[in-house]
Amino acid sequence: MALLLLLVTALAGPAATATADGHTGPAADPAAIRVWNALTTDTVNDNLTATRPSGQAAIWQGFVSAAVYNAVVGIQGTYAPYQWQVRGPAGASPQAAAVAAAHRVLVTYFPASRTPLDAAFTTSLAGIPEGRATTDGVAFGERAARHLIALREGDGRDAPVPFTRAPAPGVWRPTPPGLLPFIDTWLGTLRPMLLTSPAQFRPGEPPALASARYARDLNEVKTMGARTGSPRTPRQTETALFFGGNLAVQVQGALQDYTARHRLDIADTARMFAAVNASATDAVITAWDAKLHYGRWRPITAVRLADTDGNPATSADPQWEPLLVTPPHPDYISGHAAVTGAVTQTLSGILGTTRLDLDFSSAATGTTRHYDDAAGLNEDMVDARVWAGIHFRSADLAGCRAGSRIGVWALAHYFRPLRSRPEPAAPRPTCPAD
């Protein structure tokens, strides 16, 4: 947190510029959005158990980013606000509005973190000249946050959603070593941010247990995802470990780096964070909907109980263990692959190309990888979850494709430019082939 506060103090003061509708107002340093995105990551991590293998972190990033987006574009008029038709006062500071919106959403949902968030808020505003522009910006940012919070009332967060499937061949059950129950089942019934329902892009059924495809999936993960004795190369093992941590942190870090290196202005920065994070939110919801609906068992269960699946091409290994600990929720579909598919497709749509120029870092390995294009990132993610021993390939591929469909939908219906300029055509999805 101390490092982030130092970053806040480094924000540049605004200079005069023209907004989209011709009004003259203060320019805004887009670094404010990156700083508060990082503060959001810290706040979420501080309030959720660090070891929780859930997609819940993406939800909060989506909420904060949408409020910040509305606060900024409501003043600048560059893009259509998210589920809002309100314009901010002419001459208000978009930077102050962004800070106020992020702060208000975070203290509302994470009141235990109010003290450090209030301190960061004060420090952020100290870097912006006092006056009417800042006062108006703060007021409008607060208004944007309150609107987002009202939109999310009664959305199903933390609802008691039971998983009632009885154990049977193919059906999920708690996995070793923790034998934890299905975590955050409510994510599968949460009201989406962009989609019409959690099931809008639910994929078809996973491969039947008796099918050749299922046997191929099981035998691949049994061989390549084993903790010991696997023929994985060092690079393959590093790939599995690289994507074995907190994907939400990796995505936010990549966006912070990209928007800084490419010098996006505050409106484009707000749009990129909002579009990507809202898509990722709905990718998590879509993944959990499928997990609830299909309840597919994980590889560790499938390999150990392969003598019950009725498939002559599989064989049981009661002692088999995956490279990584299996998360406590069903296999189909992969949340990591769905989120990555949504992120890559949304970014490709914004940029008009699948060449993304992204740097992903991993706390798990202490390394950074550069991805020139969306296809390479999606391919690594699909492979990583198989080589980690925690997903069947079919679950990864279905996740990637569902996420890609969400990314296309997001930009077809939201975050549209208001200025008269052509939008790039949505590039084709870049998920690996079967």
Domain boundaries, the chain: 2-151, 185-413
Model confidence at 420: pLDDT above 70: no
The pLDDT tens digits for 86-119 are: 999 999 999 999 999 999 999 999 999 999 999 9
CATH number listed for the domain at residues 185-413: 1.10.606.20
Q: Is the omega angle on the peptide bond into residue 285 within 30 degrees of 0, that is, cis?
A: no
- Prediction pTM value: 0.94
Model confidence at 156: pLDDT above 60: yes
Model confidence at 278: pLDDT above 80: yes
Give the SS3 label for residue 150: helix
10 pLDDT band, cuts 50/70/90, is very low
Helical H segments across 262-315, by residue range:
266-294, 299-304
Which CATH number does the domain 2-151 belong to among 1.20.120, 2.60.40, 2.30.29, 1.20.144?
1.20.144
The pLDDT tens digits for 162-208 are: 999 999 999 999 999 999 999 999 999 999 999 999 999 999 999 99
2-151 and 185-413: identical CATH topology? no
Model confidence at 398: pLDDT above 60: yes
Q: What is the pLDDT of residue 245?
A: 85
Measure Cα distances from 261 to 27, 108, 265, 424 in Å.
19, 32, 11, 21
- What's the mean pLDDT in 12-26? 42
The pLDDT tens digits for 128-148 are: 999 999 999 999 999 999 999
Q: What is the pLDDT of residue 429?
A: 80
The pLDDT tens digits for 323-337 are: 999 999 999 999 999
The H or E element that residue 373 is part of is: strand 367-373
Under DSSP, the state recorded for 249 is H
Of residues 210 and 17, the one with the higher pLDDT is 210
State the chain's mean pLDDT as an integer: 92
Q: What is the pLDDT of residue 428?
A: 84
